[in-house]
Amino acid sequence: MTPSTDRHAARYAGPALPEPRGELSARAIDVLRGLGTPLPGARDTGRADPYGEDLQLTLYVLYELHYRGFAGVGGHHEWDPELLRLRGAAEERFLTALRADAPSTGGVDEALAALLVEPVGDDGNSVSHYLRREGELRHLREYAALRSLYHLKEADPHAWVIPRLRGRAKAAMVAIEYDEFGAGRAEDVHAQLFADLMADLGLGTAYGRYLDTGPAEALATVNLMSLLGLHRSLRGALVGHFAAVEVTSSPGSRRLAEAMRRTDAGPAAERFYDEHVEADAVHEQVVRRDVIGGLLDDEPELAPDVVFGIRATELLEDRLGRHVLSAWRDGRTALRAPLDAPARPVP
């Protein structure tokens, strides 16, 4: 390997492997480190808390092999049969819990209509209401660190559904993803806009920088996207998840943009959410009319899966909101460890 190739590899290396959070994640991470550790069996996975730190970190780490991977971890691990076996068992544990706690009852129109009911400011788990009304810069920094686990790979999990759609649904999905990926401009890719927001808040912008600080509730929201995206049989649920994100994004982003302005977080911090207020208001209509409408015209039997995707998204976002606000109202950090002070003064 030449020096220039060495520099290239270092430049594009993934994040460091995280610290384990239990037996499942410890064994999986040991294997990725090249240690001869036997992986846990189905019985061990079946006993794990489906929403707990250990299982959610295990899933996150194994899913990350399909994104950018980890520094020092060979690409061959992506399709290692034993790791895939462990991932399958962990997915089954997670998916079974989601199906029990977020049943796909009711129709698609009913599920979408529920998303349009705006939560009141004191409903107990509306983080955007809290941040708009009384959030401080320290809260905004924690929120950005939590959401970076998704936003620095924004649109990537949803892209997996594109080859699984056809006709009107595919065309509409690609049009929305084109916007998410900056409409051909690298500086406008939404993941880059979020990195710029993080810089305004004095946070590190490296991909995966805050994985060790993210609690299970945050990991689960990202794992849901990866789970649905990686399985063709769950394409309807991924479309439902995508609809839930787009329908709720515009009003939530408006509140977050107001929070950024109220705290003088910085122009890039404001821009990220301002962009989503306008863009996602348009995307919502396209998703409802063309992505969902096109999918169900082709495959009407997937309607319960669409509902499940919506319900599961609501469930996990509510869990995360309760976790975050409970911590903040008690004067605690919502992260697993406090953030470092900004490297430079935040505006």
Would the pLDDT of 206 be above 60? yes
Q: What integer best gives the mean pLDDT of the chain?
A: 91
Nearest to 15 by CA among 56, 60, 53, 55: 60
Q: What are the backbone angles phi and psi of residue 166, rounded to the nearest 5°?
A: -150, 165
Mean pLDDT to the nearest integer, 46-63: 98
Long-range pairs for 208-211 at CB < 8 Å and ≥24 separation? 208/14, 208/15, 208/16, 208/64, 208/68, 208/70, 208/149, 208/152, 209/15, 209/145, 209/148, 210/145, 210/146, 210/148, 210/149, 210/335, 211/15, 211/18, 211/60, 211/149
pLDDT for residue 341? 72
**Quick one: average pLDDT of 10-26?**
87
Residue 9 has pLDDT above 50, yes or no: no
Name the pLDDT band for 248 (thresholds 50, 70, 90).
confident
pLDDT higher than threshold 60 for residue 6: no
Of the listed ranges 89-98, 175-184, 209-218, the one predicted with least confidence: 175-184
What is the C-alpha to C-alpha distance for residues 158 and 245, in angstroms, rounded to an integer? 11
Alpha-carbon distance of 315 to 223, in angstroms, equals 13
- Tell me: the pLDDT tens digits for 265-318? 999 999 999 988 876 677 788 898 999 999 999 999 999 999 999 999 999 999
Helices (H), the chain: 3-11, 23-32, 42-47, 53-64, 81-101, 108-115, 127-134, 137-151, 156-159, 167-180, 190-200, 216-229, 235-262, 267-286, 293-298, 303-329
Q: Are 146 and 341 in contact (CB under 8 A)?
A: no
Domain locations along the chain: 3-100, 106-329
**How does pLDDT run across 207-238, given as a tens digit for each residue?**
999 999 999 999 999 999 999 999 999 999 99
Whether the model clears a pTM of 0.85, i.e. scores above it, the answer is yes
Class of domain 106-329: mainly alpha
